[in-house]
A and B are shown apart, each in its own frame.
Chain A
């Protein structure tokens, strides 16, 4: 006759713990691997913009980032930015310079593209449209989500590269040409791959598409 063996309380607790651990490990593998999982995305079709002609939409891995451009503050810079967007020049551009929770930079059209990424020259690429004069504004505050034209250490060297601040950077006030501000999608930008403790990112994230709202 076989005697039925009952599990003790401690054995039951251990069994439940192991089952829970298994479920957690399994779900973590599939869920946490997706960095875009908990990112909210704006529905462009249901959103009304007061000045749609100055709204640009940058699509990246985790969704759309909506940027309002300020031609009243930096007319020449915004015109250049729109020109490059309309030419689809930023499509495939790498976020090669990312300072975690601080700023991201992209727009090297020559050496920082998905098709051609040259780490020895990145940051020095040209658009072919020539350099622009800096349009500095002492009133524009580089708060979280501000978009500015990048430059070399010299003024009047703006071309195609741009940066977006992920936190307020007061020291940039009056130092860089403002282009606009992110109105939706800051969380999406925070998901962009960083260079860990370095400025430059190896195997960076890319811009999928960058369009003016009116052209969509």
Chain B
């Protein structure tokens, strides 16, 4: 039995994963891009492709350095909206930057992981939605850390009674991220997928175009309630975020 375990060990752990960053985050092929920042966020980038998660269902590719340099200022500018205390509260310390991020073969902009205090971002994500996507994913970390502030049942009750969300965010075809002309309770089609995505969409617009949202909620009672709910939940964590 021991010989068998030794043999299996030789087969299974012979990958080149042995570095200090892997030891900490359990993501292979990463290197430090920027370690020191005012809000204590540490930026890492992929120096090779990686696969992680259950059955390696999360995949992302090595970054092109020129591409990374081009996108980094945008990423850092958006992360700088958050102070170190807030980021600590929502368990975010590491930003992993890679290209063409997939989870279960579905392209995604970001994957948050509060347990590892990590947010993986796809720097090739559609530039039209890129900045908003960053805040969208951060909201998922906020909600994970402060679920009591963002109760999904309370939030869902603001909708019309004849509306129902999908079973999960990817099991509907409500994926469009463009702002509706006529909002009627939802900012985007993706808002209609599940409550947490609806909240994350509102939060992302509040962070990137608050004036527009303030305009919209003058005419949209449902959205006014939803925005008020998000603002209230955030103010309990940090009064200065919005």
Write the residues of chain A forming the contact surface with B, with a CB cutoff of 8 angstroms. 99-100, 102-103, 119-120, 153-154, 165, 169-172, 174-175, 195-200, 202
Which residues on the A side are within 8 Å of B40 (C-beta)? 174
Q: Is the CB of A202 within 8 A of B6?
A: yes
**Is B26's CB within 8 Å of the partner chain A?**
yes
Q: Which of A99, A171, A174 contacts B32 (CB 8 A)?
A: A171
Of A170, A195, A199, chain B has the most CB atoms within 10 Å of the CB of A199
Please measure, in the bound complex, the distance between the C-alpha atom of A21 and the C-alpha atom of B99, giving whole angstroms.
54
Q: Is the CB of A172 within 8 A of B18?
A: no
Q: List 17 A-B contacts (CB under 8 A).
A: A99-B18, A99-B20, A100-B18, A153-B26, A153-B115, A165-B20, A170-B35, A171-B32, A171-B35, A172-B20, A175-B24, A197-B14, A197-B15, A198-B13, A198-B17, A199-B23, A200-B13
> Distance (Å) between the CB of B19 and the closest chain A CB?
7
Which A-B residue pairs are the 9 nearest by beta carbons? A198-B13, A199-B18, A99-B18, A169-B20, A197-B16, A198-B14, A119-B9, A200-B13, A119-B5
Q: Is the CB of A198 within 8 A of B42?
A: no
**Is B171's CB within 8 Å of the partner chain A?**
no
Encode B115-128 as 1/0 by CB contact (under 8 A) with A: 11000000000000
Please measure, in the bound complex, the distance between the C-alpha atom of A175 and the C-alpha atom of B6, giving whole angstroms.
32
Which residues on the B side are within 8 Å of A120 (C-beta)? 5
Which residues on the A side are within 8 Å of B42 (C-beta)? 171
Q: Is the CB of A99 within 8 A of B23?
A: yes
Please measure, in the bound complex, the distance between the C-alpha atom of A196 and the C-alpha atom of B10, giving whole angstroms.
11
Chain B residues 97-137 with CB under 8 Å of chain A are 115-116
Which residues on the A side are within 8 Å of B21 (C-beta)? 171
Which residues on the B side are within 8 Å of A169 (C-beta)? 20
> Distance (Å) between the CB of B96 and the closest chain A CB?
12
Q: Is the CB of B116 within 8 A of A153?
A: yes
Please measure, in the bound complex, the distance between the C-alpha atom of A103 and the C-alpha atom of B15, giving whole angstroms.
17
Q: Is the CB of A199 within 8 A of B17?
A: yes
6 more A-B residue pairs beyond the given contacts A198-B15, A202-B9, with a C-beta to C-beta distance below 8 A: A171-B20, A171-B42, A197-B18, A198-B14, A198-B17, A199-B22
Please measure, in the bound complex, the distance between the C-alpha atom of A136 and the C-alpha atom of B35, giving whole angstroms.
17
Which residues on the B side are within 8 Å of A119 (C-beta)? 5-6, 9
Q: Which of A100, A103, A198, A202 contacts B23 (CB 8 A)?
A: A103
